[in-house]
Structure 1
């Protein structure tokens, strides 16, 4: 079963607890970002990135940019993995 993730090469992680309660505990800007995210992020990862950004006294906008940059890096890593599987010479 692929859980509607398509041909993603990234590892899947299982969370614990009530995911809806944890999601509802996120700040509103983060919940909005997650709703449009390209990847199925774990709440632990999101909370870690958000907390680190806010600990540096970054604004909500810059903290959201940190989430977007992390997503871009992950997508790039997945893209490289997929390309190398398709073309073993790269």
Structure 2
């Protein structure tokens, strides 16, 4: 069965939770960020990264910028494994 996660070397886990409920419980600004995210973030991992970024930066806007940087690092880590070393990022 084909899944919509695409081809990735990044780790994934299955969780016995209700993903829609978990998503709905996220802060509005994080849900908005996730709606345009380039990676298939889970609600739990996105919330953990967001809360850690808020603790580090002290505000929500800077925390979202940190999530952008984290996502870019993950893409740069994964792209050569998925598309080959010559793929431009």
- Shorter-chain TM-score tier: 0.7 to 0.9
Larger of the two Rg values belongs to structure: 1
Q: Judging changes above 3 Å, is the alpha-carbon distance between structure 1 residues 70 and 57 closer, same or farther for their aligned structure 2 residues?
A: closer
Whether the 8 Å CA contact 1:15–1:42 is kept in 2: the answer is no
Q: TM-score, normalised by structure 1?
A: 0.80
Aligned length: 85
Q: TM-score, normalised by structure 2?
A: 0.81
Whether the 8 Å CA contact 1:9–1:78 is kept in 2: the answer is yes
Q: Which runs of 4+ in 1 moved over 3 A?
A: none
Unpaired runs of at least 5, structure 2 = none
- Kindly report the root-mean-square deviation, in angstroms, between the aligned alpha carbons of the 2 structures: 1.9
